[in-house]
Amino acid sequence: MNYEYLKIFYHVCLNNSFSKTAKELYTSQPAISRVIQSLESELSCKLFVRNKHGITLTKEGKNLFDQIEGPFVQLQRIDETFKFNNAYSTIYIGATFTSLQIFVFDMLRDLGNNYPNIHYQIYTGSTSKIVDQVKQGKIDIAFVTTPFDKDNDLEITNIMSIKDIIIGGTKYQTLSEENHNLKELEVYPFLLLSSDSQFRIHINNFLFNNNIHITPAIETDSIGTILPMIEKNYGLTFMPQQMAKQSLNEKKCFQININEKIPLRHLVMVTSANHYHSNMIDRLKVFINNRTK
């Protein structure tokens, strides 16, 4: 299969346009069309459907793009590495909201002081999404929280332990004055992450193992929305202690101690064991490891 044809197909997918791709690659739109037609002929299938709004990938086209996206991203990284000779590099970082709040923001400040010529692109999302992007070679380094499915495609380094606690706003301050069995808290409204999030699955397993059933009054897809709602007395929630620290110190919320022990989680650094990465990535990994010792 012709590499140049695949390269043009890849750029057409990114631009969602034949004309934009032609300008980007300094060629003509008819030339782009001929390449796509040749590729379709070689593969014996249609890759795009044209309509009045532009072009849309067919099922076969989407399948081809999914297969070549990772390798093309890797080739772009290699090109950047040699083009700038490591004097100026772009590092692609993935992070969950929790890891941003309790580690990544401070880490980026320290990295900026020590490696001023590095440019960073930050991608956020769920743990599972970010780990998949690491496997695909789209992200160089990821910072996520356990638990998640681990395999031999990943290199995982423990950064810090995460202690999860139960907190409530000022309306629930009296609950903070003594320890409780978790069963006693079933009657209170809870704010929880959506059921497909890794943190929610972790909490659900903890509740199940203790024969506790909590139906959340409110569910959200972002942990970043929960703390402001707790401070406004919408109910109780499970929250990493590190994220609630400032609000606890300012007495905008209060920790509610329970007799049951919530299992520890960990914030980890994840890189790919299979994809190419520059020497700069190795240097950053060493720097981060030394910083967290």
pLDDT digits (tens, 9 = 90+) for 61-84: 899 998 888 887 777 766 655 555
Mean pLDDT, residues 96-103: 93
In tens, the pLDDT along 225-250 reads 999 999 999 999 999 999 999 999 99
Query: Which pair of tokens denotes residue 36?
Result: 């796509």
Q: Which pLDDT score is estimated for 26?
A: 78
Of 146, 180, 147, 149, nearest to 165 by C-alpha is 180
Query: Measured between alpha carbons, how far is residue 76 from residues 23, 80, 268 in Å?
Result: 19, 6, 26
Q: Which pLDDT score is estimated for 272?
A: 87
Banded model confidence at residue 23, pLDDT cuts 50, 70, 90: confident
Cα 195 from Cα 206, distance rounded (Å): 14
pLDDT greater than 60 at residue 209: yes
Q: Which pLDDT score is estimated for 170?
A: 97
Domains (ranges, CATH) in the chain?
Answer: 3-72 (1.10.10.10), 86-161+266-292 (3.40.190.10), 164-263 (3.40.190.290)
Q: Which pLDDT score is estimated for 83?
A: 52
Cα 216 from Cα 213, distance rounded (Å): 10
pLDDT greater than 70 at residue 86: no
Of 293, 288, 230, nearest to 99 by C-alpha is 288
In tens, the pLDDT along 148-200 reads 888 888 999 999 999 999 999 999 999 999 999 999 999 999 999 999 888 99
Query: Rounded to two decimals, what is the model's pTM?
Result: 0.69
Of 71, 54, 79, 58, nearest to 10 by C-alpha is 71
Q: Which pLDDT score is estimated for 72?
A: 79
Q: Is the pLDDT higher at 77 or at 48?
A: 48
